[in-house]
Amino acid sequence: MQALILDLRNNPGGLLNSAVDVCSQFLPPNTKVVSTQGRVPSQQHDYSTSVASKPRPNFPMVLLINEGSASGAEIVAGALKDLHRAVLVGETTFGKGSVQNVLQLPDGSGGTFYYGQVLHTQQTGDSRQRRHAEHSCRHDSRAGTRSLCPA
């Protein structure tokens, strides 16, 4: 494979752990992907790629995003962009800024719960709450196949 285009357009996301697992396919082992912050300390957590994940070839990647990309799709897009692993092409994402996870209740039952805010941490250490994944360049359908990305 020489390059990869991953289409996250109109992807409403999913579970936080699934988004981290997707990032594990493209990032080095034990790389911090995202942090969550909530009202109670148990909701504050750093999520990283698996220590056991295999190193992958560093081929060029483009992620296609739009206003229908939300939740887990935004986590994948934001992390891969912030860690300089992929270029985002398309429109600004939904900007949900919250995460969902399956939590076990004391009686043994469980369900999907929404909680916390996402903090995408860049390599510089800066973090942004409730951030949209901003595209790096866009394609204008009026321009045909000509790219509007900076050289």
- Residue 50: domain span: 4-133
**Which CATH number characterizes residue 54's domain?**
3.90.226.10
Quick check: is 21 catalytic? Answer: no
Q: Mean pLDDT in each 10-residue stretch from start to end of the chain (151 residues)? A: 95 88 94 84 87 87 94 91 94 76 70 51 40 45 38 37
- Distance from C-alpha of 43 to C-alpha of 99, rounded to nearest angstrom: 11
Asked if the structure places residue 101 within a domain, the reply is yes
Could you say which of 96, 107, 109, 126 is catalytic? 96
Q: What is the pLDDT of residue 22?
A: 94
Asked if the structure places residue 108 within a domain, the reply is yes
Quick check: is 96 catalytic? Answer: yes
Asked if the structure places residue 65 within a domain, the reply is yes
Asked if the structure places residue 145 within a domain, the reply is no
Number of domains within the chain:
1
Whether the Cβ atoms of residue 22 and residue 105 lie closer than 8 Å to each other: no
CA distances from 50 to 66, 114, 139 (A): 28, 24, 34
Could you say which of 54, 71, 140, 147 is catalytic? 71
The pTM of the whole model exceeds 0.85: no
Asked if the structure places residue 146 within a domain, the reply is no
Q: What is the pLDDT of residue 110?
A: 63
Asked if the structure places residue 102 within a domain, the reply is yes
Q: What is the pLDDT of residue 108?
A: 74
Asked if the structure places residue 150 within a domain, the reply is no
Asked if the structure places residue 53 within a domain, the reply is yes
